[in-house]
Amino acid sequence: MKILIITHNFWPEVFPINDIAWELAKKKKVTVITGYPNYPDGAIFKNYTNNNISKKKIKNVEIIRLPIIPRKNGSTVNLILNYLSFIFSFIIFFKKKFIKEKPDIIFFYGVSPITSAIPAIILKKIYKSKLILWVQDLWPESISSTNHIKNKFLLSLIGRIVNIIYKYSDKILVQSNSFKKILLKKKLNKKIEVLYNSSIIKKNNIQLNSKLKKILKNNFCITYAGNIGKAQSLLEITKLSTIFNNNSMIKFLIIGNGSEKEKIKNEIKKNNIKNIIILDRVSQKKIWKILKLSQVLFITLKDSYIFNHTIPSKLQSYMAVGKPIIGSIKGESSKIIIKSKCGLINKPGDIKKLESNIYNIYKMSKSKRKIMGTNAKKYYNKYFKNSEQIKKLIKHFNDFK
């Protein structure tokens, strides 16, 4: 079976589709069409030129990269240019010869922007292949929730485009049960099934630098790793004055980059906060080690209709590591934390409850925290394990044999 993956983002950017592609390529012929890597920093990664189509084989996956306009600071204008450039680049540069054989399945990985599925639809028409969408973000709800677009007419127009994309698909996979319920209400007359994300963080023996290792060893570290953007609402942790003033042992470790990072840094400097440590993005191998040495892991999403229906892939990664989780989060993710008994939750923006949760988990015995971590790992193995998700995905592909 020949599989063509269309995705706006791919390795070395960190997304679940990476491991999906590597695993599929062990048994199938896999080609990926993507842009040049620039997420989340906003600049094209080093060693990538971004001035023409490139073609390279990595781990038996053929990767075709299209020139794009990088997202830069993540402003609305820059994001629109970034999103549109992928489509226009495909239209301008695509030639049938770049794909030597007709793909049996075109698999679209639907993070924002879902408009990147337009090339997938064009290729479906050219090759008469089957098109499967794996919806990670619901549009236009996602861009409305992050306030990138507020105009009702534009949101309505985008909604119509999205429905056309859904119409041309042969099957729709979604990343949460809540997403499935939302799409079923649209009466798309399509088969809609849930395929969870899995973890892309793997166990390894990499060594951390002595300074970071000392921080993790000598303090009660609550760690957040990932994008630092508007959706995450990480700015709220700078308001945890009571906890920070009363206990210098508790440290918040934030690892990553994003549009809100400088704001958090400014708040830390302005209020002379010593308990929050911000590090730049590190390799996934180091992330696993840092998470493993942390006492608690932190996940947050702003309170909005769409985010309350989303399961951020970070949750699966945290659970795979097997550590207690504090979630400043609502909806499906909070239900998973409660059901699995792997941590404590509060509503986004509820600083008093967050402080209470931090204090309670800090005072908790090591054995109780260990049980929470074990529960997280068990739940991951039951519902989110990567090998099981791959099996389910292949079954979806085989439906079109």
> Nearest-CA neighbor of 182 among 158, 163, 156?
163
Q: What is the pLDDT of residue 97?
A: 67
Instruction: Say if strands 250-255 and 29-35 run parallel, antiparallel, or are unpaired.
Output: unpaired
Which two structure tokens, joined as six digits, stand for 212? 């970071």
Measure the CA–CA gap between 87 and 317, rounded to whole angstroms. 31
How does DSSP classify residue 12?
A: T
Q: Where are the domains of the chain?
A: 2-198+385-398, 210-383
User: Exposed, middle or buried: residue 17 (CB in 10 Å: 0-12, 13-18, 19+)?
Assistant: buried
pLDDT higher than threshold 70 for residue 397: yes
pTM listed for this prediction: 0.89
Quick: pLDDT tens for 4-26: 999 999 999 989 999 999 999 99
Element holding 65 (H helix, E strand):
strand 61-66
Percent share of the chain, pLDDT over 90: 68
- Residue 224's DSSP bridge partners are 254
Residue type for 168, please?
Answer: Y
Q: What is the pLDDT of residue 257?
A: 86
Residue 369, helix vs strand vs coil = helix
Q: Do the beta carbons of residue 364 and residue 344 sit within 8 Å?
A: no
State the average pLDDT for the chain.
91
CA distances from 136 to 17, 61, 194 (A): 11, 22, 11
For 163-213, give the DSSP string: HHHHHH-SEEEESSHHHHHHHHHTT--S-EEE-----------PPPPHHHH
Look up the CATH architecture of domain 210-383: 3-Layer(aba) Sandwich (3.40)
Q: What is the pLDDT of residue 230?
A: 80
The CATH T-level fold of domain 2-198+385-398 is Rossmann fold (3.40.50)
b or e along 328-356 (b: 16 or more beta carbons within 10 Å of the residue's beta carbon)?
Answer: bbbbbbbebbeebebbbbbebeebeebbe
Quick: pLDDT tens for 50-99: 989 999 999 999 999 999 999 998 888 999 999 999 999 999 988 766 78
For 87-103, give the DSSP string: HHHHHHH--GGGS-S--
Measure the CA–CA gap between 81 and 73, rounded to whole angstroms. 12
Residue 135, helix vs strand vs coil = strand
> Nearest-CA neighbor of 3 among 29, 39, 35?
29
CA dihedral 280, 285, 290, 295 (to 10 degrees): 140
Quick: pLDDT tens for 261-301: 999 999 999 988 889 999 988 888 899 999 999 999 999 99
